[in-house]
Every structure is written in C-alpha cells, then in structure tokens.
Structure 1
Amino acid sequence: MGATADGKKELVAVLDGYREGEQSWSELSLDLKHRGLTIDPKVAVGDGALGSRAALRKIYPAACEQRCWVHKTANVLNKMPKSVQPKAKGNLHETWQAETKANPKEAFDAFFEKYQARYSQACDCLKKGRSVLLTFYDFPAEHRSHLRTTNPIESTFATIRLRQRKTKRSGSRRASLAMMVKLAESASKKWRRLNSHETIIHAIEGRSFKDGIMQEEIAA
C-alpha cells in the first residue's frame, strides 16, 4: 500500500514470497521501481521484518523507516505475564502518544527502569529498532495516525486470510495470487484518504518538520 501526493491510498503490489526474506522484499521493491517508482518514498512503515528493512535500504536508501507500534507493542507484551500486560501497555502508549519527541524518550527510560529487572526480555525487545519507532515526529503531526501502524494493510490481509480459510484450498500459485489481488482491490475501494492531505506536498518537497510542525526555511 502506498499514498500519493494528494493523499490517496493505492494498492501498489501483491507478491508471494518466502518467509518475508530480503530476496522476496527486494523482488517486490525492484518491481515497483521498474513500474515507475524511481524516486525514493519519503517514509516506509513496516512491522520490523529484517528482510524488508534490508531490501529497503539497498533499493530505496533515502526512504525513512518507521516501525509499526502495534506490532512492537504486541511483541513486547508477549514477553510479559498477562497480569502485567495491561499496565505495561498503558506505559507503552505514553511513548507514542506524546506531543514532542523528547517525551517519548523519557517514557522509554521510565519503562526500562520499571521493568528491566524482572522482564529484561521485554525491555530488550523494545530497545530493538528504537531509533525507527519515533520517525513519525519528523513528518506532519496530522499524519501520525497513518504512520505509526501498518493496520490498514493488516486489515486488508485479514479479509484475504478469512477467504483462504473458507476455501481451504486456493489451488495453484497463480490462482492464489489472482484471488489475493482481487480481494485486495476490492478492499482498497474502502480505503480513506490521508488526513490533511494538503500537507503531504511539503514532505515531498523536503521541508523540515520538528515534532510534527513544519520549520520555517532560512533564506541564504
């Protein structure tokens, strides 16, 4: 899924791969480039799969990375007892709901101080990819809800997975891909436009944003 300069979400590719490895993601990225996406995207949001990140850095090196907070939160909480998860989830929400980038850093430190001794694996998980969890602060504040998560893609594939379970057998590889493309195209008709789409052009132009607010350009 991609977004155009006017804020319209578009289905850009559907490709089968092997365990989300770098080779599979490279094939998808190269396919996009060959079909016209020659300019690096401004930001790519993903679930943290190492293969996708490695491919992105090679093929679209200028693209910024943003890690999905929904996936990261789930991964962290899975390493904690269920009795602790509700409170820990609230603590994690304090990081990405803050207005400025300085506050999440304080929330990170508070989380580590609170849980490191007993739940070191959860804290180690949170530390991984920390640098790309806060990228959204460098883009318009109106777009934060879009940039913090891959949920729009996940909800689309939930429809595809449901159909696959119902049919039980999807047939050949070609038939499976055709089914997925048709279902994704159908789902894309309900995708809504990005919030405050008129500000996207400023990001495309390379304007600088701090804590979601566009900075004034200094004349030479």
Structure 2
Amino acid sequence: RRDDVANEVVYLVVGVTEDGFREILGFYVGGQESALGWKTILNDLYNRGLEEVLLGVFDGLPGLEEAMKAVYPKSDVQRCVVHKVCNALNAVRKKDQSAVAEDLKPIYKANSQDEAKEKFRAFKGTWQKKYPKVVKSWEQDLEVLLTFLSYPSSIQPMIYTTNIIERTIKEIKKRTKTMNSLPTEKAAEKIVYLQSMDYNQRWAERKLRGFSNAYSTLQEMFKERYGSERE
C-alpha cells in the first residue's frame, strides 16, 4: 500500500551454476518492469560479484537482451522458445494451431543450429503465405531462439525456456496472494526474502538433470570466454 492499493513488480533473478545448482541471486521490489530496470539490476549483480555469466535466458521484453549484453558482453542470450511458440499459436486461427505447433517443433527439437534453420525454412515454405507476420517474427528472432543448441545436449531442455523462473515466481505468488495487501515495501521484501531463503536451502541439495554430463564442457566454455580456471 502506497497511498492506495496497487500491484507492484518484483524482479527476480535465478542463477544456475555449471554444477547444476539453482540459486535465487537477487530480488527487487517496486517500480514497473522495463529494460532499464533490468539493466540496473544486472549492474547490481555484477557489482556484488557475479562477473562471469555464460547465458541469460529471457522472455521477449524489448531491450532486456541488449541490457544483458551491455553488462555481460561475453554472455550469450537465449529467448524463451516456449513463450515464442505460445505467441505464434495465439496469432493463428484456431483450426491451424495444432498444425503450426507440430511444424514448429522440429525447429527447436533439432540436433544442431544448421538442422534447426533447415526446419525453419520448411516451416516458412508451408506458412509464409497464410501467416507472414508469424513467419517474419520467427525469422527475425531465430538466432536468439537457437542459442541453446550451442550448449551440451544434456542441458538443452533446461535452457531453451524460462520454465525454471516461471515456476519459482508462481510459487512466490501463491505465498503473497494469501494476503489482501502488504502495508510497506519492507513487508513485501520480507515475504520474498523468506521464500527465497527456503528455496535456496532446498535447491542446494538438488542438482538439475544433465549438468553432470555437461560440466566439463561448461568449464571449457567459461575458460575460453573469461580466461580463468573455474573452482
């Protein structure tokens, strides 16, 4: 409550180490979601010691990927494929949704970027005439949609989508929605802080699937980009 009752944004950042352990790295209450807000947060994370990042996974907020590259120029950017597919299906007629979904699947299920681009060309040939805007949108974003294919196959299902953070946000919302409103920003911060600490304690004992197989490759990727041995 700030003079009146209204919803406010909580920015939340979840990181995954090369060992495969998740951690809520930071949360920030207040304001409206924007690329500028995210850049401020990314700068804060960098100044707190998060200096080496391989990959940032985002939805399609305009400017967010540019903010990531400004703070972490050596990082890759991955656009959430699940969001992109949903947006495409919302833009086509209901009778075509199943067919479009099936024709999109070979693109993000491909074994390499070259194969994925070939599958996209097939998708374009089928749907260009009927849904040119959908095809154009995928064509423009194809590079950032396929970043995950440059990473070890064992972790690709984890990194082509923002599902990890979506699930985390959903659980935190469950906690805050039981209250009609929170009296101050500090009260909101306390709720999110306690929930974050609970997650981090549980996650410290749960390694994500596939990261054991990918560990050596990820170590080499860090070394190649940042020139330092990982501990």
Give the shorter-chain TM-score range.
0.7 to 0.9
The residue number in structure 2 matching 1:32 is 45
Candidates 220, 223, 227, aligned match of 1:205: 220
Does 2:99 correspond to 1:84? no
Q: Secondary structure at the match of 1:167?
A: coil
Candidates 57, 61, 66, aligned match of 2:78: 66
Candidates 38, 45, 62, aligned match of 2:57: 45
TM value normalised by structure 2: 0.81
TM value normalised by structure 1: 0.85
Kept after mapping to 2: 8 A contact 1:17/1:24? no
The residue number in structure 2 matching 1:181 is 193
Task: For 1:112 and 1:18, locate their aligned partners in 2 and report how far apart those are by CA, in whole Å.
Answer: 40
Kept after mapping to 2: 8 A contact 1:156/1:184? no
Identity over aligned residues, as a percent?
29
1:118 maps to amino acid: K
Task: For 1:56 and 1:17, locate their aligned partners in 2 and report how far apart those are by CA, in whole Å.
Answer: 20
Change in 2 beyond 3 A, CA 1:129/1:181: farther
Does 2:211 correspond to 1:196? yes
Task: For 2:144 and 2:30, locate their aligned partners in 1 and report how far apart those are by CA, in whole Å.
Answer: 24
Task: For 2:105 and 2:215, locate their aligned partners in 1 and report how far apart those are by CA, in whole Å.
Answer: 26
Q: Secondary structure at the match of 1:66?
A: strand
C-alpha displacement at 1:197, in angstroms?
Answer: 2.4
Kept after mapping to 1: 8 A contact 2:155/2:211? yes
**Paired residues, number:** 207
The residue number in structure 1 matching 2:17 is 4
1:59 maps to amino acid: V
Residue ranges of structure 2 left out of the alignment (5+ in a row): 1-13, 224-231
Task: For 1:87 and 1:34, locate their aligned partners in 2 and report how far apart those are by CA, in whole Å.
Answer: 47
Which 10-residue stretch deviates more, 137-146 or 193-202?
A: 193-202
Residue ranges of structure 1 left out of the alignment (5+ in a row): 209-220
Task: For 1:83 and 1:32, locate their aligned partners in 2 and report how far apart those are by CA, in whole Å.
Answer: 45
Q: Secondary structure at the match of 2:77?
A: strand
